Structure 1
Amino acid sequence: MTNIPETGRTPRVQIRLVVIQVLVVSLLLTLGGRLWYLQIRNGDEYAKEASGNHVQQVVQPAVRGSILDARGVPLADNETRLVVSASRTDLMKMKDDGKGVLTKLADVLGVKPKEVTDKVRLCDSKTPQPCWNGSPYQPIPITDEATPKQALQIRERSEDFPGITAEPTAVRRYAAPGEANTAQVLGYLSPVTDNEIAKAKDTESPYLRSDQVGRSGLEREYDKELRGKAGVTRYEVDNLGRVIGQAKADKAEPGANVVTSIDARVQRIAEYELNEAMKEARKAFDKNTNENYKADSGAVVVMESKTGRVVAMASNPSYDPNAWVGGISGKDYAKLTGKTSNYPLLNRAIQGQAAPGSIFKVIPTTAAVNAGYPFDGRYECSSSYSVGNQVFKNYESKGYGAISLGQALEVSCDTVFYRLSHDEWKKDGGIKPKKDPADWFYKTAHQFGLGKETGIDLPNEVTGRVPDRQWKQSFWKANKTAWCKTGKRDGDYVQKLSYENCLEGNLLRAGDSVNYAIGQGDTLVTPIQMATIYSAISNGGTLYNPTLGKAIVSPDGKTVKEIAPKSHGKLPMTKKTRDEIDGALAGVATRGTAAWRFGGWPQDKIPMHAKTGTAEVYGKQTTSWFATYTDDYTIVMTIAQGGTGSGASGPAVRKLYNALYGVSPDGKIDSKQALLSQPQKSLPKIQGDGSIEAPKIEPYDPKKDEPPAEQQLAGPAGTAALGRRD
């Protein structure tokens, strides 16, 4: 056997090792180069592609809770409609981006193709409505008013309508039971905005893009409770939008129901009678302007006197909140918000401000007593009262001689309050006030709750205005430049007024105090403020926050959270003063300015109290006010440019009381005809499955409450029967 020397194999091994080393180095260089290419050279590009593989959400909207009246009658609930929707993801996969399918769909629905294509485009800063503000992965509703025939066509010819569905879906409905519209109280829904989503991101109740949220009324105030929790299914998708897996699914939870203190039966009458009162006012001639009264807006509030719960609240002009369901059209939106619309979206019960006229006089009466003037003292009710060169007249220039404060309320004597306010103004230093003036008449108004919100559970309540010294100063600062620019010493009335305001518009003048004492001048109140005040007089002095929400009931009915009445203070009067004012207001209804509207009323069984008011407004016709209460209810009605208090608003208020207590036109009480002789205390009955029993509401028949022809004409002789000012 021949031995091979070791030195003979060494070169081969070394060559192989070198080749392997070269291959390894080459591979490392290739991998390194590739990594550099992927991570550095084209890193941004691949990062963008990778970001396309992420999770998308498909939302199943929660069924919104119902808004019910005090007996369980639905005011706002949901109904099943045939909703036609489009999957934008499926449409975008088509060569023409789904235009052909949408055109065929428009033909089936009987609309123009543009109406359909506009609805599936995504909203941005440059895209006007209609457009889709939700997730592009969410089915986009095209219409919620599809007929069964249209839905059947789409479903039977599914191959012609890829990406299109027609399914029964719960849609918001404003039921208007018995024609009780309740529009401004309920509010409406519209899609959530990007700003709202961002603001609510870290809160307990974040929004999803598909959410519909309350925009006004109870829909907004109780949105969190009503909205529920949407179901969310999360899908993993690639950059082409293809689903590659399901990540997680959360089940939808329906919203809770809100039981209100509204009684749909009373609400329908309040709306009808307010509208009728306005129509009748437009038939009356205004001798001051030589034309009929315009009666262009009005409001009425029916409130439980002992709790502040609102039984009915109507505002006119009104609208149909169903116009917002499924997205409002541009034409309908213009009708609700345009310059000629008279703004029906406003709830004039809480947002309508006007001078209160003589229904304000309970406040200066209280102020006078608190300032030391005896209620039963004697005060001159002359036909007029002079302040400098200006003469302030009593209504119809009529005088009653020396009368008490109670009698001044009954006959609504202006000059008594002129004198009292002027005397207090002088005691406080007049045009050059003391360091700490008492300001009884202004301070008392604030103590009654004026100049601030009542705390009602509705959004966007306004505060009204108490024109005291502080307000005069701030108003003067804000307007001085304009007054000085337009004012003229020898100009017309407005120019002269601007000239005076330029010089001393920050000073509380004698004329300001005199006008203020009878609810005129710069004083502004809302109907809900005055209802709160008169209900407090009725209940002994407690100022309640007006409330509409009575209870929150969980979807299964197992959890009921009652909303208790809350007080925000007491009237600034003793029990003795309250009783004296209460007696005077009873006198207004039985022998004073409201007596002709309560002829035949069963005063011995249901004591009625009232105050009439007619507020003068520069450049406009007078505002009608009528404030009333019993032990159970307080009703306040106002009609802008409607004429006199008892003349315009009085008949409607009387009919509301007739319906509540079952009082016939001749004054007899029929308990079987009474809608609500006592406020509703119990909640509606809740079934085991969470549903609530709801009685049916019949439309209102106004004819049964019409008094005999001879009683319609009855009333004090002369001009009072045509409607005196107060």
Structure 2
Amino acid sequence: MSNIPETGRTQRVQIRLVIIQVLVLSLLFTLGGRLWFLQIRNGKEYSDEAKNNHVQQVVQPAVRGSILDARGVPLADNETRLVVSASRTELLKMADDGKSVLTRLAGVLGMQPKEVFDKVRLCDAKTPQPCWNGSPYQPIPVTDEATTQQALQIRERAEDFPGITAEPTAVRRYAAPGKANSAQVLGYLSPVTDEEITKAQDTDSPYLRSDQVGRSGLERAYDKELRGKAGVTRYEVDNLGRVIGQAKNDEAEPGSSVVTSIDARVQAVAEYELNEAMKTARQSFDKITGENYKADSGAVVVMEAKTGRVVAMASLPNYDPNAWVGGISGKDYARMTSKKSNYPLLNRAIQGQAAPGSIFKVVSTAASVQAGYAFDGNYPCPSSYSADGQVYKNFESQGHGAITLGQALEVSCDTVFYALGHQQWQKDGGLKPKKNAKDWFFKTAHQFGLGKETGIDLPGEVTGRVPDRQWKKDFWKANKDAWCEQGKNWPKKKDFGTVLAHENCLEGMKLHAYDAINYSIGQGDTLVTPIQMATIYAAISNGGTLYDPTVGKAIVSPDSKHVRVIEPHSHGKLPVSAKTLKQMEGALAGVATRGTAAWRFGGWPQDKIPMHAKTGTAEVYGKQTTSWFATYTKDYSIVMTISQGGTGSGASGPAVRNIYDALYGLDDSGNQDLKKALLPTPQKSLPKIQRDGSIDAPEIKPYNPDSQKTPEEQTLAATLGRRD
């Protein structure tokens, strides 16, 4: 028998019972609290989620709107293709992650297995193209060029191809009417990313995982209007996935069409002539370097002078935007992004920066007048100009005696502008600038719109550079450490790079005399883009208004009932009086009739279509000269540039003349045939779009440079070659 007293045993039993009661009550309170949290606090949320567990969504992509030229010719539209897609979700359920299925699929499609594997892998920081950067839960296109026979094989042998579909699908098509490539203007599409979906969740235009979005050009600029709204059908299913009813159906809404100011015919001419000019330049000998010009890239802009609307915009090297449709291949992606191919994705009309050379002299002329120099005053034009122990030569060391500012523009006299730029630098205090320094040459450039974006409706525009005093300070701060490190090797090393680094380390923040002198003729650290210069020369033509360049002209709803016209907008006026502007116009007309561009405009009907021009040959350290040719009439401004192409009139001049001939229907003698003229006056009306969205677009024939010539002239051209 136990020696424990009866009272002690009873107390222990009571304590145990109390503990058990506390545990039971705690458990009941916990369960009750959890039940309250699930049923009352978050009841609606979990109820909605439970409902969604029994709803499956089927997305019907919206038909993307077309991009049309000014007359309604499709530049980008849609066509039906047989698209073969693979579902990663289904493939990953298989023991080998679907490799055997994809291998069989490659055999049917005539592709290598690795090609197919690469197409369906997901993109990340370490995975090169091709890869899939869209949602992993939507079918991934393997090819959009499947034949009917291939599609039938896949569908008839469905048991051999689980997770694979072959369906007719509307896909993007870049039509290149009349061989007008327009790649950088149009841009391209690729699947939306998870990050983009998250960012757009709370906007009025959220993304679905099946969406394709614009990545550059007009496809990106007008993505919201073009994309439309995808349709979503929601099906109720049971726990076995069987459809038991339809919950909701949102119809797809097609995207709107974007009518542009681009004329496909003129675009084809601009692309052809730019390419021909570059080919010709590569066959021309550069006396300075002792080898042919490289002519590695170029751009041309054709703009309506009175509105800023872009009629044509070409950039070389270019690419085929159709390569992105259905997923880009590794080979194509490497070519488009490699240094060897010189980055064809760049739109050099808005992203190419270079020193402008003498086409900048219209800015320097206006600056001189603002600074108090008379336009018709007499200014010495010697063969060279000396300052601070340095000699700055006139182009080809030619002198012209005492001339006016207008004549300095005509003959492109560097030394006149050297002296004016240097004098203004001295008046402003030189190396020790006054507090109230006028800086007319820099101020005027900013007033002309340089050093900032023009506002064109294309993404990725760069600002160029006006190297004023503030820029010098900022640039010095950013580069001081690197300059000083390299400059330590001086004076043991006296190569150009080391000497320059040493000088910049000590005084790189100061605006020197040589900075002001070189700047006055568009050299030194000055950078501009072709679109900036086309805007400036258009403003001189129209009386001084700087328009925001635009490519989009109107947004047309799918049923054509609603049309939103994109009106021209101005971002400023030239800081030039009407009198000075008229004087500058006279000088620029003189450039085309008796100045540096006259040899390119022989036979031009100056009395009927006054031509104004300015040539530019910009020197670039370590490279061959950059060719610039800036022109305008009462209707258009055209600016062309060729990197490492030689002189302005020599390389770009003939191509610009040929574009004008095509626009106005002119032959070599200046005779006009309006039947052959592509666009003798800018297109004002919009194309007529039917209620079903169809357009009676005119047919575009590929550009034939000899179409302007008579049979006799064609024979002569074939014998002597095209006009140089």
TM-score, L = length of structure 2: 0.89
Provide closer, same or farther for how the CA distance between residues 96 and 234 of structure 1 changes in structure 2, counting only shifts above 3 A.
farther
Check whether the contact 1:614–1:645 (CA below 8 A) recurs between aligned residues.
Answer: yes
Offset at residue 164 of structure 1 (A): 3.6
1:553-607 Cα deviation digits (max 9, x unpaired): 0111111110000000100000000000000000000000000000000000000
Match of 1:228 in 2: 228
Match of 1:682 in 2: 685
Provide closer, same or farther for how the CA distance between residues 496 and 85 of structure 1 changes in structure 2, counting only shifts above 3 A.
closer
1:401-441 Cα deviation digits (max 9, x unpaired): 11100000000001111111111111111111111100001
State the alpha-carbon separation in 2 of the partners of residues 210 and 183 from structure 1.
Answer: 24
SS of structure 1 residue aligned to 2:706: helix
Provide closer, same or farther for how the CA distance between residues 130 and 402 of structure 1 changes in structure 2, counting only shifts above 3 A.
closer
Check whether the contact 1:52–1:240 (CA below 8 A) recurs between aligned residues.
Answer: no
Match of 1:15 in 2: none
Match of 1:600 in 2: 603
Offset at residue 498 of structure 1 (A): 1.3
Match of 1:610 in 2: 613
Offset at residue 103 of structure 1 (A): 3.8
Match of 2:287 in 1: 287
2:661 to 651, 658, 661: 658
Q: Which moved more, 1:395-404 or 1:148-157?
A: 148-157
Q: Match of 1:345, as an amino acid?
A: L
Match of 2:209 in 1: 209
Offset at residue 159 of structure 1 (A): 5.0
State the alpha-carbon separation in 2 of the partners of residues 395 and 99 from structure 1.
Answer: 67
1:381 equivalent in alignment to 2:381? yes
- What is the 5 A alignment of 1:564-575? 564-575=567-578
Q: Match of 2:247, as an amino acid?
A: A
State the alpha-carbon separation in 2 of the partners of residues 709 and 394 from structure 1.
Answer: 41
State the alpha-carbon separation in 1 of the partners of residues 691 and 147 from structure 2.
Answer: 34
Match of 1:174 in 2: 174
Q: Match of 2:430, as an amino acid?
A: G
- What is the 5 A alignment of 1:452-601? 452-487=452-487, 488-489=490-491, 491-601=494-604
State the alpha-carbon separation in 2 of the partners of residues 381 and 251 from structure 1.
Answer: 73
Q: Which moved more, 1:496-505 or 1:613-622?
A: 496-505
Q: Match of 1:509, as an amino acid?
A: H
1:703 equivalent in alignment to 2:711? no
Uncovered stretches (5+) of structure 1, i.e. residues with no partner? 1-28, 715-721
1:516-537 Cα deviation digits (max 9, x unpaired): 0000000000000000000000
Offset at residue 395 of structure 1 (A): 1.3
State the alpha-carbon separation in 2 of the partners of residues 130 and 412 from structure 1.
Answer: 51
1:676-710 Cα deviation digits (max 9, x unpaired): 00000000111232212211110111234577899
1:418 equivalent in alignment to 2:418? yes
Match of 1:394 in 2: 394
SS of structure 2 residue aligned to 1:196: helix
TM-score, L = length of structure 1: 0.89
Offset at residue 53 of structure 1 (A): 3.2
SS of structure 1 residue aligned to 2:424: helix
State the alpha-carbon separation in 2 of the partners of residues 400 and 125 from structure 1.
Answer: 61
Offset at residue 242 of structure 1 (A): 6.4
Provide closer, same or farther for how the CA distance between residues 439 and 708 of structure 1 changes in structure 2, counting only shifts above 3 A.
farther
Match of 1:273 in 2: 273
State the alpha-carbon separation in 2 of the partners of residues 588 and 64 from structure 1.
Answer: 47
Match of 1:16 in 2: none
Offset at residue 320 of structure 1 (A): 0.4
State the alpha-carbon separation in 2 of the partners of residues 476 and 713 from structure 1.
Answer: 57
- What is the 5 A alignment of 1:288-327? 288-327=288-327
Q: Match of 2:409, as an amino acid?
A: L
Offset at residue 56 of structure 1 (A): 4.2
1:620 equivalent in alignment to 2:598? no
1:463-482 Cα deviation digits (max 9, x unpaired): 00000000000001111111
Uncovered stretches (5+) of structure 2, i.e. residues with no partner? 1-23, 39-45
Larger Rg: 1
Offset at residue 635 of structure 1 (A): 0.3
Offset at residue 371 of structure 1 (A): 1.1
Q: Match of 2:69, as an amino acid?
A: D
Q: Match of 1:74, as an amino acid?
A: P
Check whether the contact 2:238–2:244 (CA below 8 A) recurs between aligned residues.
Answer: yes
Offset at residue 240 of structure 1 (A): 7.7
1:614-659 Cα deviation digits (max 9, x unpaired): 0001111000000000000100000000000000000000000000
Offset at residue 148 of structure 1 (A): 1.4
Match of 2:14 in 1: none
State the alpha-carbon separation in 1 of the partners of residues 347 and 115 from structure 2.
Answer: 32
Match of 2:345 in 1: 345
Check whether the contact 1:133–1:209 (CA below 8 A) recurs between aligned residues.
Answer: no
SS of structure 2 residue aligned to 1:410: helix
State the alpha-carbon separation in 2 of the partners of residues 133 and 291 from structure 1.
Answer: 45
Check whether the contact 1:655–1:705 (CA below 8 A) recurs between aligned residues.
Answer: no
Offset at residue 672 of structure 1 (A): 0.8
Offset at residue 133 of structure 1 (A): 5.1
How many residues align structurally? 680
Offset at residue 499 of structure 1 (A): 1.1
SS of structure 1 residue aligned to 2:76: strand
Offset at residue 299 of structure 1 (A): 0.2
Match of 1:26 in 2: none
State the alpha-carbon separation in 2 of the partners of residues 272 and 391 from structure 1.
Answer: 41
Provide closer, same or farther for how the CA distance between residues 413 and 210 of structure 1 changes in structure 2, counting only shifts above 3 A.
same
Check whether the contact 1:58–1:138 (CA below 8 A) recurs between aligned residues.
Answer: no
Check whether the contact 1:62–1:252 (CA below 8 A) recurs between aligned residues.
Answer: yes
Match of 1:649 in 2: 652
Provide closer, same or farther for how the CA distance between residues 127 and 287 of structure 1 changes in structure 2, counting only shifts above 3 A.
closer
